[in-house]
Copies of this chain bind each other. A is one copy, B any other.
Amino acid sequence: MSGFPTLSKSEFTASLVRAKQERGISFEELGKAIGRDEVAVAAIFYGQHYATLEDIVGLAKALNIDKNLLSSQLSGFPDRGSGVEMPPKEPLIYRLYEIVQNYGQAYRAVMNEKFGDGIMSAIAFSTKVDKEVDEQGNTWVNISMRGKWLPYSRF
């Protein structure tokens, strides 16, 4: 059943971020500590991803938080999608939204051509963020997304 943390979503995000700040630990290190990707860890912080009991125990240890407290905050199925106002006003998130707006039709046309009639799942899905510095010293962000291809059922 759905979990109802005793804190509101933005309050428990704030308390997790504070603990992370005090420990001076990065999302990447937290991810390594519990065997998950850094983006998934950040999504757990924002209440947008499910944390198993094992994840909770690992995070509590890494963040030096009481395991039971964290468990009461994170248990249950997250109410995803509730944190971002759309269209996003935050400039970094807006750029991602703009990519969907500008390239959405092109992605669809290419996927239909390569895969047929269906969608890329956002559920059977994972994603990563990598940093690249090119030869001129410019910094680039690389986002990779991997989603299962789901063909439409025939009925």
Looking at chain A's contact residues, the main secondary structure is mixed
Interface centre among A80, A84, A148 (most CB of B within 10 A): A80
Min distance, Cβ A121 to any Cβ of chain B, angstroms: 6
- Do residues A146 and B117 form an inter-chain contact, with CB atoms below 8 A? no
Contact residue among B28, B80, B93, B121 (Cβ-Cβ distance under 8 Å from A90): B80
Min distance, Cβ A148 to any Cβ of chain B, angstroms: 6
Residues of chain B within 8 A of A14, CB atoms compared? 4
Given contacts A99-B145, A132-B146, A145-B99, contact A84 B110 (CB under 8 A): no
Residues of chain B within 8 A of A86, CB atoms compared? 86-87, 89, 97, 100-101
